[in-house]
Amino acid sequence: MSATEILELSATAATAAVASGALSQGELFGAYLARAEGDRAAGGEGLNCFTWVAEHVPGDGSAPLHGLPIAVKDLFCTEGIPSQAGSRILEDYRPPYTATVVSALQSAGVSLLAKTNQDEFAMGSSNENSAFGAVRNPWDRGRVPGGSSGGSAAAVAAGLAPWALGTDTGGSIRQPAALCGIVGLKPTYGAVSRYGMIAFASSLDQAGPLTRDVADAALMLRHMVGQDECDATSLAFPGEIEPPTAERLDGIRIGVAEELASEGIQAGVVEAFEGALTRAEELGAQLQPVSLPHAPHALSAYYVLAPAECSSNLARFDGVRYGSRAADARDLLEMYTRTRHDGFGAEVKRRIMLGTYALSAGYYEAFYGRAQRVRTKISEDFATAFASVDFIVTPTSPTVAFKLGERTGDPLSMYMSDYCTVPMSLAGIPAISIPCGLSEGLPVGLQITGPAFSENRLLDVAHALERALEFDSQRARV
C-alpha cells in the first residue's frame, strides 16, 4: 500500500488491513511517524500538534488493534515519556506509571505515536494557553483548533494520526472536534478511569476518543471503558461498546434544546444545525422541542465549580511533591511562591485565585454551595427531558473556529465557547460531536447527548446521521 492509501484508512479500516495481511504493522506506524515527525520539524510552519513523538517504529504485537498508532493528550501519564499537561511547571516530567486508559488501549494493541499539545492543565477553549505554543487549525492556520484537546483534534483532522485520546471537563473533546471537523465523544462520568490523568476538576474530567468517524470512536471507547480499582469514581460499563450499525432513525425521539440552539449562536452554525435536523427527520426521527430551563446558568456554575476543584488539585504543584522547583529561594515560602509564579501560566493562576476565593470560609455557601445546587437543577432538567425524548441535540460550539488571538484578551468571550457543552458535563451524561456541515468554509459540529450509559445507542444515532450528512473531511488533510 502507498503512504497515501494508508493515510486514507480510518482506524477501523487500518486494523482490518493489518489483520488481512494487506498492510504490515511497521508500514502503518512508519507512515504516521513520518507525518508526525514532519509536523515537529516544521516548527512554526507546522500545526504544533505534538509535544513528543515516538523515536522508532515498535515491534509487532498480536493484540486486536494490531499496533495501530495513537496520539495521546499530554496530560495522560505515560511511563518514562514526557507528560507535561501543557505546563511549564511539569516540563519534561516523566511519570513512573501509565494512565489506566492508555495502558488498556496498549493492552488492546495500540502503539504510542505521540503526545499532543493542549491548553495548560486543560484550561482553555482555543489551545492558546499551552506553555508549548498555540496549535493551529488545519482548515485555516490563522485560526484556533479549539481546546483544550486542540493538539489531538488538529492531528486527527490533518491526518497526522489515525485517532487520538483527549479529555473533556466542560467541552474539551467535543468543542475542538467540532472546530476541526472530526468526531469527539465524552463518555458518561465514571465509564472510564481517571487514574493517571493529571487532574483539572475531578468531578467533571473524563477521557474520550477524537476520531475521523463514529465507528472509530466506538472502537476506541470499547477498549477504554471499565471499572478501575485505582479510581473510586469509575463504574463497570453495562455490557460492551458495540460497533455502530444503524442507518435509520425510525421511532427515535430527538429533543431540540430550545435554550441551547438559537440565542448567541452564529447564523451559519444555526443553518448547518437545522440542515442536520432535516436529515434526522428524513431518516425517520421525530423531532420535538425540549426545555432545559437551567442550562443557561451552566456556564456560571461551571466557572465556580471547576476553578474550585482546580485550586485544590493544583496545590500539589509546590516544587516539593510535584513541579520543577524554582532555584535559589531564600526560604520555603519564597520557594513555593516562585515555583508557582514561574511555573503556571496566566489562565491557570486566574482559576486558582477564583477557586480559592469561592472556597474560602466566608464565601463557600454563596458561591460553591449555590453552584452545586444549580448543578443538581441541570441534572434534573435532563432527567425530565429524557422522560419524553431519547436524545437531545444542540450545536456543539456557538461559533466556527475563531482567529488566533481573537479571544485571548477577553476570558469571558473565551468561556462562551463551551456554552452548549458544559451542561452535559455538569450532569455527567455522555455526548458526542459529529461534523454536520460548513459555515464560512469551516466545520460546524452537531452535539447529541443521551442518558447516562446510553453510549451504544448514542453511537448508533451518530452513525446513522454521519452517513446521511456525508461530511467531507478530506480538505483538512495536510
* Cβ proximity of 165 and 70 under 8 Å: yes
Chain centroid, CA 225 distance in Å? 16
Complex with ligand GLN: residue 252 or 374, whichever CB lies closer: 374
According to CB under 6 A, which residues from 370 to 429 bind ligand GLN? Answer: 418
Complex with ligand GLN: residue 166 or 255, whichever CB lies closer: 166
According to CB under 6 A, which residues from 273 to 332 bind ligand GLN? Answer: 306
Task: Collapse the DSSP code of 395 into the 3-class scheme (helix H, G, I; strand E, B; otherwise coil) and give the result.
Answer: strand
Give the separation between CA 252 and CA 235, rounded to whole angstroms: 27
Which residue bears the cell 441534572?
Answer: 379
Q: Site size for ligand GLN, by CB under 6 A?
A: 13
148 catalytic per annotation: yes
Give the separation between CA 10 and CA 5, rounded to whole angstroms: 11
Give the separation between CA 426 and CA 75, rounded to whole angstroms: 21
Give the separation between CA 185 and CA 164, rounded to whole angstroms: 11
Least distance to ligand GLN, CB of residue 346, Å: 13
Least distance to ligand GLN, CB of residue 64, Å: 30
- Distances in Å between the Cα of 178 and the Cα atoms of 48, 270, 295, 371 are 19, 14, 20, 27
Stretch that binds ligand GLN, among 101-109, 170-178, 230-238, 330-338 (CB under 6 A): 170-178
Q: For residue 128, give the nearest of 153, 114, 116, 145 by alpha carbon.
A: 145
Backbone angles phi and psi of 99, in degrees to 5: -55, 145
172 catalytic per annotation: yes
Least distance to ligand GLN, CB of residue 63, Å: 30
Residue count (the chain): 478
According to CB under 6 A, which residues from 103 to 142 bind ligand GLN? Answer: 122-125
Q: Of these residues, 103, 111, 126, 148, which one is catalytic? A: 148
Complex with ligand GLN: residue 122 or 389, whichever CB lies closer: 122
Give the separation between CA 338 and CA 327, rounded to whole angstroms: 9
User: Could you say which of 74, 120, 168, 231 contacts ligand GLN (CB under 6 A)?
Assistant: 168
Least distance to ligand GLN, CB of residue 399, Å: 14
Least distance to ligand GLN, CB of residue 287, Å: 28
Complex with ligand GLN: residue 78 or 148, whichever CB lies closer: 148
User: Could you say which of 15, 100, 169, 397 contacts ligand GLN (CB under 6 A)?
Assistant: 169
Complex with ligand GLN: residue 172 or 211, whichever CB lies closer: 172
89 binds ligand GLN (CB under 6 A): no
Q: Looking at residue 370, what DSSP letter applies? A: H
Least distance to ligand GLN, CB of residue 433, Å: 12
Residues 200-219: x/- map of binding to ligand GLN (CB under 6 A)?
x-------------------
Give the separation between CA 218 and CA 416, rounded to whole angstroms: 29
Distant-in-sequence, close-in-space partners of 397: CB < 8 Å, separation ≥ 6:
146, 171, 175, 178, 179, 269, 417, 420, 421, 444, 445
* Cβ proximity of 296 and 259 under 8 Å: yes
Residues that bind ligand GLN (CB under 6 A): 122-125, 148, 168-172, 200, 306, 418
The catalytic site residues sit at 73, 148, 172
